[in-house]
Amino acid sequence: MQVTVRVNGILAQKIGINRFPMALPDQATARALQQALQGQYPNLSVEIERAVIVIGGAHRPGDTVLQDGQEVALLMPVAGGCA
């Protein structure tokens, strides 16, 4: 199956793009997607692990089974605000 991966922050900067296709086995989970990305980008392993998984506009756990054609966002948490 193929999904579209969307990233932001340091992930987008280091990978060089913010949206790209990725082939995965059928019935792959969001965690399997993270592990595949960690294999491709070992220097970003920690950041990929910390990324928030968002599918269909909602946070999802790593055991979420992905569907062909889905967009999966791995978004870096943002800190800050008013003190």
What is the spatial distance between Cα 29 and Cα 66, in angstroms, rounded to a whole number? 5
Query: Do residues 14 and 41 touch, judged by C-beta distance below 8 A?
Result: yes
Q: Does residue 83 or residue 79 have the better pLDDT?
A: 79
Q: Classify residue 43 by its DSSP letter.
A: G
What is the spatial distance between Cα 52 and Cα 48, in angstroms, rounded to a whole number? 9
pLDDT digits (tens, 9 = 90+) for 7-55: 999 999 999 999 999 999 999 999 999 999 999 999 999 999 999 999 9
Domains of the chain, first to last: 2-75 (3.10.20.30)
Q: With cut-offs at 50, 70 and 90, classify the pLDDT of residue 77.
A: confident
What is the spatial distance between Cα 83 and Cα 69, in angstroms, rounded to a whole number? 42
pLDDT at 19: 97
Q: With cut-offs at 50, 70 and 90, classify the pLDDT of residue 78.
A: confident
